[in-house]
A = this chain, B = another copy of it.
Amino acid sequence: MPEIGIGLIGTGFMGKCHAMAFQNAASVFNTALRPRLTVVADIDEATVSNFAGQFGFGRWTTDWTDLINDPHVDIVAITTPNFLHKEMALAAIAAGKHVYCEKPLALTSEDALEMTQAAERAGVKTMVGYNYLKNPATALAREIIASGEIGDVVHFRGIHNEDYMGDPTVPHSWRCTRDRGGAGALGDIGSHIISIALYLAGDIRAVNAQMQTVIEARPDPASPGTSLSVENDDQTHAMVTFESGAMGTVECSRIAQGRKMHLAYEVTGTKGSIVFDQEQMNELHLFTAADQHRLGGFRRILIGPDHPHYGAFCPAPGHSLGFNDQKVIEVKCLLDGIDGDETALYPGFRAGYEIEKIIDAMIRSDAEQAWVQV
């Protein structure tokens, strides 16, 4: 079977997640292309060498340009902090590699556009890691909407709330700076719920946002007893207008006490509604006009082999997929896309750029306190 060489940059949370996904995609899905873990790069030698051993990479390097120039690498997977995405992706594209980049694609929509155009010119395939789109429950939601089962979408409410920075003693980091983190909650997790808004309800025409930094300074980890300003948003919400004419709201917070993975949405159509919460990621709740009777009500659909991708993991319904399984599906889509199925390559850089445009528009809207066209 044809192998495809993987070069992975970054060995943190998402680096590990990528490595596992590449290990599993071929077995779970029996893909035509088989990933080969060729090389992994990170700046710390001890870390990267251990990581290479743990996951069975062919070799490791502390120089990511070395990885990119490795002729055995076909796909460059980028899981580094946000501010590094652009340089790495452009270099990989220049080297003719396919690029699989973690979200958010870039710090600004201008950068994202530059990356997108470079990839399109070079003819390389791209994927951005909006992995929650790969949850079978959300893929099912999209199918239900596309089928007309809930009529025309008239309202979308999307939320992605967590509390990982809810404690004011969580130290300052690159995530808190505009030039390295970009938007705060909005860039980090708001981008996820925007990706879902687009996936389920279509293009967004205009936005009207409010952003706030609630915890204005955080301890400087480099200098005990002092603190540094937080430069980006702890919480953001926005009204949005979809191209379809539907209304929506999008909301995100990194300080929402008690919320751990509360990526949730409610899609209201003229003939039904869909309700979802990623904290119970294996359930989709559906109500249709046909349920408007004495024994009707929201149906709790437990995800199973009748739904997208699940059956490859388990033949029995209700047994649950997990967070990492979403990434396996994402890698399968990437492999299928490189193997010729263009429709599988969603969201690619172009879609990632659309998300960044919306984020930029929200930032502008907040500054201007006004509606902004995307």
Q: Which residues of A contact B (CB under 8 A)?
A: 1, 13, 17, 19-20, 23-24, 26-28, 30, 50, 53-56, 144, 149-150, 154-155, 157, 159, 161-164, 166-168, 208, 210, 212, 214, 235, 237-239, 241, 247, 249, 251, 253, 255-262, 268-273, 278-283, 286-289, 291-302, 304, 306-307, 313-325, 369-371
Indicate if the CB atoms of B320 and A258 lie closer than 8 Å: no
Indicate if the CB atoms of A251 and B287 lie closer than 8 Å: no
Indicate if the CB atoms of B318 and A257 lie closer than 8 Å: no
Question: Can you list 8 A-B contacts with CB-CB less than 8 angstroms, sorted by A residue number?
Answer: A166-B289, A239-B239, A258-B272, A282-B320, A291-B299, A296-B301, A297-B299, A321-B323
Contacts of A300 on B, CB cut-off 8 Å? 297-300
Contacts of A210 on B, CB cut-off 8 Å? 239, 241, 247
Indicate if the CB atoms of B324 and A314 lie closer than 8 Å: yes
A268 with B296: in contact, given A237-B239, A239-B208, A316-B260 (CB under 8 Å)?
no
Task: Tell me how far the C-beta of A342 lies from the nearest C-beta in chain B, rounded to whole angstroms.
Answer: 25
Indicate if the CB atoms of A261 and B320 lie closer than 8 Å: yes
Contacts of A313 on B, CB cut-off 8 Å? 322-324
Indicate if the CB atoms of A24 and B28 lie closer than 8 Å: no
State in angstroms the CA–CA spacing of A301 and B17 once bound together.
Answer: 24
Contacts of A315 on B, CB cut-off 8 Å? 13
State in angstroms the CA–CA spacing of A170 and B334 once bound together.
Answer: 37
A235 with B155: in contact, given A55-B27, A212-B247 (CB under 8 Å)?
yes
Residue from the list B13, B272, B298, B325 in contact with A299, Cβ < 8 A: B298
State in angstroms the CA–CA spacing of A145 and B184 once bound together.
Answer: 27
Indicate if the CB atoms of B297 and A258 lie closer than 8 Å: yes
Indicate if the CB atoms of A324 and B325 lie closer than 8 Å: yes
Indicate if the CB atoms of A251 and B253 lie closer than 8 Å: no
State in angstroms the CA–CA spacing of A198 and B224 once bound together.
Answer: 41
State in angstroms the CA–CA spacing of A288 and B166 once bound together.
Answer: 11
Taking each of A30, A150, A164, A258, which has the highest tally of chain B beta carbons within 10 Å of its own beta carbon?
A258
Contacts of A27 on B, CB cut-off 8 Å? 19-20, 23, 54-56
A249 with B251: in contact, given A270-B214, A320-B323 (CB under 8 Å)?
yes
Task: Tell me how far the C-beta of A145 lies from the nearest C-beta in chain B, rounded to whole angstroms.
Answer: 12
Contacts of A55 on B, CB cut-off 8 Å? 27
Contacts of A319 on B, CB cut-off 8 Å? 260-261, 322-323
Indicate if the CB atoms of A299 and B295 lie closer than 8 Å: yes
Indicate if the CB atoms of B28 and A20 lie closer than 8 Å: yes
State in angstroms the CA–CA spacing of A28 and B325 once bound together.
Answer: 13
Indicate if the CB atoms of A164 and B295 lie closer than 8 Å: no
A287 with B257: in contact, given A154-B235, A237-B249 (CB under 8 Å)?
yes
Q: Which residue of chain B lies nearest to A239 when distances are taken between CB atoms in the complex?
A: B210
Residue from the list B161, B261, B278, B299 in contact with A296, Cβ < 8 A: B299
Indicate if the CB atoms of B261 and A273 lie closer than 8 Å: no
Indicate if the CB atoms of B301 and A297 lie closer than 8 Å: yes
Contacts of A314 on B, CB cut-off 8 Å? 13, 17, 323-324
A304 with B257: in contact, given A210-B247, A281-B320 (CB under 8 Å)?
no
